[in-house]
């Protein structure tokens, strides 16, 4: 097992990528982070997958984590930039670093949006499956207290427009984000459709995706409750989607399950995800801590 770092230069700066190689021929999970979360936050989860025979590629979004330059008002991108140039660049780098491997997109929260938006318009021979964890439609009508959610999400759009970025690091949600991304996310929340202004219709492309997919909702997750995860997974009308609710039994090791805890405390979910990936890439699941 080896861990290396690389980087790619794109329109919005240099994207940092960490590559964990579980060995020749092993499948590759590309972890796409949640909003405002650095790739390094997922290190315990990535190491747990690695120990179970899954190689892991961990990229940072432009302006986040180890990517440079840091996000500012002059850096303004949306879903299209992430789904098109950024993720295409990440997958090209993955193929260069780990050639000939089957690749699974593993999106957490926003990362699931980016993965599905990408797949709606791109086909890669190496991308064989999709896993989403806590990825949901933020559509206000399907949440408890819908009026409150509608107001909050549209407040995000308003502040992002006036402030020329979203200061989530100061307001307690999402970290610092580019205004275009947050306005588009707020539009998704308002309409239930991921259709950034001036871009292709992601929704019809999503319905045409034909890959095996695993959509996981997490216990105690107020940001992505089961009904909202169902709504998002339902956009994969042509895919073979498996739905899973994940919780730990009483007395299980590690932190209680919520929207973020699996990244730092991956007990049990690492086995669930790695087994599914290995099964759907033609590999035999590996017991924890051993790699042939």
pLDDT of residue 232: 98
Instruction: For residue 50, give every residue at least 6 positions away whose Cβ sits within 8 Å of its Cβ, in sequence order, or none.
Output: 1, 20, 22, 56
pLDDT of residue 125: 87
Tokens 């427009």 belong to residue: 161
Domains annotated for the chain, with CATH where assigned, are: 2-144+199-280 (3.40.50.1820)
The CA-atom distances, in angstroms, between 250 and each of 185, 254, 257, 259 are 36, 11, 11, 18
pLDDT of residue 288: 44
pLDDT of residue 289: 38
Closest alpha carbon to 113 in 249, 236, 210: 236
Instruction: For residue 67, give every residue at least 6 positions away whose Cβ sits within 8 Å of its Cβ, in sequence order, or none.
Output: 13, 14, 15, 16, 60, 61
pLDDT of residue 286: 54
pTM for this model (two decimals)? 0.95
- CA-to-CA distance for 106 and 58, rounded, in angstroms? 10
pLDDT of residue 291: 31
pLDDT of residue 271: 98
Tokens 């990825």 belong to residue: 135
In the Cβ-directed half-sphere of 147, how many Cα atoms lie within 13 Å? 0
Cα torsion through 18, 45, 56, 8, rounded to 10: -30
Closest alpha carbon to 223 in 196, 195, 189: 189
- CA-to-CA distance for 276 and 292, rounded, in angstroms? 18
**pLDDT tens digits, the chain, 292 residues: what are they?**
899 999 999 999 999 999 999 999 999 999 999 999 999 999 999 999 999 999 999 999 999 999 999 999 999 999 999 999 999 999 999 999 999 999 999 999 999 999 999 999 998 889 999 999 999 999 999 999 999 999 999 999 999 999 999 999 999 999 999 999 999 999 999 999 998 876 667 999 999 999 999 999 999 999 999 999 999 999 999 999 999 999 999 999 999 999 999 999 999 999 999 999 999 998 655 554 333 2
Instruction: For residue 104, give every residue at least 6 positions away whose Cβ sits within 8 Å of its Cβ, in sequence order, or none.
Output: 27, 28, 29, 30, 127, 128, 129, 130, 131, 277, 280, 281
């Amino acid at each position: 097992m080896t861990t290396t770092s690389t980087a790619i230069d794109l329109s919005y700066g240099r994207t940092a990528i960490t590559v964990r190689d579980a060995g020749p021929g092993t499948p590759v999970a590309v972890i796409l982070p949640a909003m405002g979360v650095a790739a390094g936050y997922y290190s315990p989860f990535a190491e747990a997958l690695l120990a179970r025979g899954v190689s892991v590629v961990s990229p940072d979004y432009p302006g986040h984590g180890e990517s440079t330059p840091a996000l500012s008002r002059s850096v303004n991108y949306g879903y299209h930039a992430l789904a098109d140039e950024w993720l295409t660049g990440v997958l090209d780098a993955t193929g260069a670093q780990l050639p000939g491997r089957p690749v699974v997109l593993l999106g957490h929260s926003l990362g699931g949006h980016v993965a599905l938006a990408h797949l709606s318009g791109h086909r890669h021979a190496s991308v064989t499956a999709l896993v989403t964890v806590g990825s949901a439609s933020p559509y206000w009508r399907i949440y408890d207290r819908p009026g409150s959610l509608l107001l909050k999400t549209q407040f995000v759009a308003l502040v992002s427009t006036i402030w020329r970025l979203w200061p989530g690091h100061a307001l307690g949600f999402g970290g610092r984000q580019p205004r275009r991304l947050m306005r588009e996310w707020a539009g998704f929340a308002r309409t239930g459709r991921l259709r950034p202004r001036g871009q292709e219709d992601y929704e019809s492309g999503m319905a045409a995706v034909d890959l095996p997919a695993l959509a996981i909702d997490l216990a105690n997750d107020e940001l992505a409750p089961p009904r909202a995860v169902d709504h998002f997974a339902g956009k994969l009308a042509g895919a073979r989607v498996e739905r899973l609710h994940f919780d730990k039994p009483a007395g299980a090791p590690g932190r209680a399950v919520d929207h973020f805890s699996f990244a730092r405390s991956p007990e049990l979910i690492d086995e669930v995800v790695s087994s599914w990936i290995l099964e759907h890439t033609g590999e035999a699941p590996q017991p924890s801590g051993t790699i042939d």
